[in-house]
Structure 1
Amino acid sequence: MQTTARPPSAEEAGGRPPDIATMRSGVRRFLAEDALPPGAHELDTLTLQLRGHMQLLIPEVEQIITRLPEDDVPRYCALACVGEARRKLDVAPRPGLSAGIAHARRMARSLNALCDHYENFSGDRS
């Protein structure tokens, strides 16, 4: 049987756990009902922030769910969420401010779901 080494979690690597509160703050910037659309320059900055948060949180969620049984439904849902988040990281926004905002909202929804899975499986309610 061949096993694949998993990357260490932030805590195991001597780091701190992900800052879910900060990540959720970035999500709210796009998904809150009263959120004002950002300008082009701000959009670039916020999109890069969402991307970075997703890149940090994806391996954390993967590491946590490896402890669950393979036939566990919540594990399967979290794996689907991770796969979707990875696909969104590979997509470049179409040109234009409205297309960029739509792209950022899709990323924000994925990051929000990753935060949910992280909190549900780690017990960390930041």
Structure 2
Amino acid sequence: MKTSNFLLFLAIYGILTGCMMLFNAGGSLINYGVQPIDHYHISIIQYVGISNITMGFLSFLLRNEQSKVSQAILLTTSITTVGSFLKGCYDVYIVNLPSNTFFWIDMSFRLLVGLVCLFYITQNQKK
């Protein structure tokens, strides 16, 4: 898969998850097992949704740009996704927050996306 196609995939993924967080914040919080759901939690997840949508649009708009731009997008996406996986593991194993199946599927997918981003960074550096 070409880097531009993967960046298109990242754009779609970011926009979809961001829209779910922004427009269905309560449902997103229920999937992660957050109880009780209050306006503070909803507000926070909507802010995160806006940043996901923005990153998705950046990936979409800059997917065909020069190598340095695509590497910067891949690097920031990798840091975000792998960092959120590590933070999730910390929350579950160290802080003892509850988790559910959806949480682990989402965290595993984020880790996979982050590792694939690192793979594309190394492939682009070799060229």
TM normalised by structure 1 equals 0.40
Between structures 1 and 2, the one with greater helix share = 2
Q: Which has the higher contact order (CA 8 A, sep 6+)?
A: 1
Q: Normalization by structure 2: what TM-score?
A: 0.40
